[in-house]
Chains A and B, each alone.
Chain A
């Protein structure tokens, strides 16, 4: 097997059907969700905070959808991240997850609220619908 060349603009992208950024400060929860989505065939990038997420989003890494927690340590929280994304990437889908916040302020087309705890197959279905261009669930 000959090593494949790493393309300049889409490194490590290979055959993944879409690229998802998971932003969650709890390592086990992040790992479980990220591995589940990898099992669905997505290329999943992980950020341990909203601050890290902005670094990934501003880099050459492609991101098609973001799943983010709200309350995270660092300079930015999940709300700040959503605001950043709306300014920089207005049409990027964001799924906001929280166990305490009810999603009442998220009244715009590309932001979806998902209550924690959630079943992994349910978030898979939600992601598939959003990426397929269907309306918010």
Chain B
């Protein structure tokens, strides 16, 4: 596995809502990225400070519970891991759009499906969750 992690760009997706995070992460995997998932800044920092994990891009929501939000996480990365690209998305719509743009630059070059479909699916998932 280490060989794969070395050759494919790794995206760390930071998102507290699990259904949103899973959907965005799966989309980026279908675009050819290796994807790590974190539920908040604290977990993201655990990954960013792990010596044996290479992370190329951090894809984070902005509003997060805990001591650090997306802006704080971005500041930490700029100071400590400046080579990492940061994508901040404040809304689900922005997250899907940004994921689509990452996808176009990703290993597979072509999007497997449109980010709007991911967004529609996330909305379906969340609507179903709210009904329960």
User: Which A residues are closer than 8 A to B by beta carbons?
Assistant: 1, 3-6, 8, 11-12, 14, 26-28, 30-32, 35-36, 38-39, 43, 45-49, 52, 55-56, 58-61
A89 CB → nearest B CB, Å: 15
Task: Please measure, in the bound complex, the distance between the C-alpha atom of A67 and the C-alpha atom of B41, giving whole angstroms.
Answer: 24
B83 is an interface residue with CB less than 8 A from chain A = no
B38 and chain A: residue at smallest CB distance: A27
User: Which B residues are closer than 8 A to A by beta carbons?
Assistant: 1, 4-5, 18-19, 22-23, 25-27, 29-30, 34, 36-39, 43-44, 46-47, 50, 52-53, 110-114, 117-118, 120-121, 124-125, 128-129, 132
A28 and chain B: residue at smallest CB distance: B50
Residues B18 and A6 in contact, CB atoms below 8 Å apart: no
Identify the interface centre among A26, A56, A59: most chain B CB within 10 Å of its CB: A59
Give chain A residues whose Cβ lies under 8 Å from the Cβ of B43.
Answer: 27, 48
Task: Please measure, in the bound complex, the distance between the C-alpha atom of A45 and the C-alpha atom of B24, giving whole angstroms.
Answer: 12
Residues A60 and B110 in contact, CB atoms below 8 Å apart: no
Identify the interface centre among A31, A38, A52: most chain B CB within 10 Å of its CB: A31
A64 CB → nearest B CB, Å: 16
Residues A11 and B121 in contact, CB atoms below 8 Å apart: yes
Specify which of A5, A11, A43, A46 is in contact with B37 (CB 8 Å cutoff).
Answer: A46
